[in-house]
Amino acid sequence: MKARTRTSLAAPALALAGLLAVAGPASADDGTAQGELTPVPLNGVDGSGDAMVWVDGTTLNVEFAASGLLAGSPHAAHLHYGEDAANQCPVESDDADGSGTITTTEGIPSYGSVQVSLTTEGDTSADSALAVDRFDTAEGGEIDYQRGQIEVTQDLADDILAGDVALVVHGVDHDGSGAYDGDTESDLDPSLPAEATDPALCGILTASQMDQMPTGGVQTGTGGTAGIENAGLLAAGGVALLAGAGLTAGLAVRRRRADQDA
CB 124 within 8 A of CB 116: yes
Let me know if 6 is exposed, middle or buried by CB neighbors in 10 A (0-12, 13-18, 19+): exposed
Q: What angle do CA 10, 12, 17 make, to 5 degrees?
A: 125
Q: What is the distance between the alpha carbons of residues 60 and 136, in angstroms, rounded to a whole number?
A: 18
Provide the pLDDT for residue 229: 43
Provide the pLDDT for residue 182: 87
CB 37 within 8 A of CB 157: no
What residue type is 176 in one-letter code?
A: G
Q: Which domains does the chain have, with CATH numbers?
A: 26-244 (2.60.40.200)
Of 99, 7, 13, nearest to 50 by C-alpha is 13
What residue type is 174 in one-letter code?
A: H
Provide the pLDDT for residue 113: 97
Provide the pLDDT for residue 191: 75
Q: What is the distance between the alpha carbons of residues 232 and 224, in angstroms, rounded to a whole number?
A: 16
Q: What is the mean pLDDT of each run of 10 residues along the chain (262 residues)?
A: 38 38 50 98 97 98 98 96 97 96 97 98 95 93 98 97 97 95 84 89 90 41 41 46 36 33 38
Provide the pLDDT for residue 190: 78
Provide the pLDDT for residue 175: 94
